[in-house]
Structure 1
């Protein structure tokens, strides 16, 4: 009897050792890779632009929350659709995510023939910022307010140049709407991102931009460019001297340049939840709030930061803007 018990005990010990040895392999592959591998945050535009700036503010803090490394990767080109395809094809394990906005995750779907669906091929993670655009110009432009800018454009039809981050981007669409609303005509000059376009605006190589406030405000505050209006019904707290489009004489030209974070479709819910929790914690940081505010970005209320809220908002924006874009017959250049 004693020998039988000893034999059974030995078998139990051996089985326990086998279970322990196999336990790591039995864990879900997605959980392993998410906890042990770096996260790549794909930015759809060149380094130095507004979306890249927001990504870099968030990346280090998200890394600290998740106790891992977050690598920012700039994948520029085709108005952000090259990056979109890259993330849509990535493994849905939480190690590849993307930052995007009104242009990349709404407008692109109405303008380009994409190898992916801007809604169906991504898992919403979190809404991170609500921004606006500024109508800005080179410092030497012979116009000091929006009415004078419109008059100058009408006096020089087809001669002025407007920088964009590519055909079909928010800057391009805003420019098209501005043309239609004012009866003006000018040429679009596409760049690989708003950052490179701003460099040429500061250098006086192009005349105007319809640019995200986060990209333009630092240059405006440094006196390197002129700002004519905010595409919002309210002034920016960080730049209260810039009038709204309503005040400047072009009422109703409202454009919200919001940003969000997405993962590839079929990323497990527990991973999306963990990513969202880390991002929500980062957005609650007072230093992040202050940095965003300086860039003209407003962090949405907590109830609007969930994956479900981003999904609802993106669909609503699609229903709002797609008919407008198609009616204007905006096409890639």
Structure 2
């Protein structure tokens, strides 16, 4: 019997498409909108290893980088909602981008939340272009105000959450800071280390190896409390900038209109994979915290964060062309 006929027969008999070896798909894929080696890709590959034999006999990671992660979301939108295509994406592609791009090819109804897996906070890092005497965020802002020609900050991309954190710092402090967008964190961190860039707003995991060697200093983090990875670094809130509090999650999604039974089954498998004893230590080296939620919690987070981003985008005045 051909695989397609077998699956149709199983569905007609009321058998679930997943969960039984005889009806399990040969291959499933986890889509990610970012290149291999980045934090999203790292999480995807570790999850793929855990889902083999549960979601499908083989689970592959398919990288579709480009357009700030939007290509992978659009690919999911066009995929069958049978459990053979999943997406892992940072929150921004779902909650922030609808405010930025008028011709976004997907909407909130085109994806079905399965569950969040991890979360990350952002930090403001400085390198050798900033004097060693600058120890705090207050010091940095004073130095930036006195040196307007050097007052800049990089981000992983225009319109990314770290960009908005930096833009809000400029708004809240009243200190002019020129934005330097990069295509990802790696080139920005390289310029920060080389002294071509004053500061960088990005995920804290990208700073960790360089903080240990003393090459970079992190002056603030964006979480509601101090990060266990940088416990000596105060938050933006502690330093008087509550508006900069920002935590981003990485979530898993199925295509829109996925069956509730399928969503529940994959959510349970995701939770089991993420809460295994080896997952938290493996992700900690990238500054990622395990933070698992179910479909309902993720759905609520999407709606709440989508609503919250609107006023921020308006205040910053950012458009993709700006």
TM-score, structure 1 normalization: 0.82
SS in 2 for 1:242: coil
Residue 145 of structure 2 corresponds to 154
Please, which of 299, 302, 308 is the counterpart of residue 311 of structure 1?
A: 299
RMSD between superposed Cα atoms in Å = 2.8
Tell me the distance in 1 between the aligned counterparts of 2:174 and 2:275: 44
Measured after TM superposition, the shift of residue 251 of structure 1 is: 4.4
Q: Pick closer, same or farther for the CA change 1:182–1:49 going to 2, 3 Å.
A: farther
The 5-angstrom pairing of residues 1-333 of structure 1 reads 25-28=8-11, 31=17, 35-63=24-52, 65-66=54-55, 68-142=57-131, 143-157=134-148, 159-300=150-291, 305-333=293-321
- In structure 2, do the counterparts of structure 1 residues 96 and 245 end up closer, same or farther at CA, with 3 Å as the change threshold? same
CA distance in 1, matches of 2:79, 2:160: 23
Q: Tell me, what secondary structure is at the counterpart of 1:330?
A: coil
Q: Which stretches in structure 2 are left out of the alignment for 5+ residues? A: none
**Distance change >3 Å, CA 254–CA 272, structure 1 → 2:** same
Kindly tell me the number of residue pairs found equivalent between the two proteins.
310
After superposition, the C-alpha distances for 1:47-97 in whole angstroms (9 at most, x for unaligned) are 333323332332322335445333223322322222222222222222222
Deviation at 1:119, TM superposition (A): 1.4
Closer, same or farther: CA 283–226 of 1 in aligned 2, 3 Å: same
- Which 5+ residue runs of structure 1 have no aligned equivalent? 1-17
Distance 1:273 1:163, change over 3 A: same
Q: 1:90 to 1:128 in 2, by over 3 A?
A: same
Query: Which entry has the higher C-alpha Rg, 1 or 2?
Result: 1
Tell whether the 8 Å contact from 1:164 to 1:188 is kept in structure 2 after alignment.
yes
**TM-score, normalised with respect to structure 2:** 0.85
* Greater share of helix: 1
Aligned-partner SS, 2:125 = strand
